Amino acid sequence: MLERFYPDVEADSAYDIDYDGLYKEGYRGIIFDIDNTLVPHGAPADSRAVALFDRLHRTGFQTLLLSNNKEPRVKMFNDDVGSRYIYRAGKPGRRGYVRAMELMGTVPENTFFVGDQLFTDIWGAKKAGIRTYLTKPIHPREEIQIVLKRRLEWIVLFFYHRRKRKETV
């Protein structure tokens, strides 16, 4: 039952993923969460985010920001990175992910998702059949509803890591 929340891959940061390797594997679309995945909650795009998106676009990736936030917050971040975006995405519903792929012209087999939360980001992407990358949150300060979800995520991740250890033995 918990497997539905398990990420395909864990990464310390969205900035540590081997995007060039994924491009060589045939991936062409990347869907990103924003808050605590690319920048702290509510922060504008920083130089690191701008450089990442510039590199991804030059490589040939299509990118899309998928956020449950309202448009002003998503647009503020996007103004500096130049990606497509969907606000009020309704994560973990699969509709936003499917729409993201439509906008990018990709399919689940050549699209992956990068986000920091199991119960919205990862679960929604998995329901849409997309490969998932779970990143560590950038900043420890979070809204109270996210703090409560993190407690439950620890339980899921405990069983996920235990399963991974058994698979490597």
Q: What is the CATH number for 138?
A: 3.40.50.1000
41-77 pLDDT, tens digit per residue, is 889 999 999 999 999 999 999 999 999 999 999 999 9
Give the count of beta carbons closer than 10 Å to the beta carbon of residue 77. Answer: 24
Counted domains in the chain: 1
Range of the domain at 15: 2-168
The total number of residues written for the chain in this structure: 169
Phi, psi values for residue 167, rounded to 5°: -70, -30
Of residues 47 and 160, more confidently modeled = 47
Of residues 144 and 118, more confidently modeled = 118
In 3D, which of 41, 111, 112 has the Cα closest to residue 77? Answer: 41
Sign of CA dihedral 25, 26, 28, 30: negative
The model scores a pTM over 0.85: yes
139-155 pLDDT, tens digit per residue, is 766 665 666 676 778 77
Please state, for a pLDDT cut of 90, what percent of the chain lies above it: 74
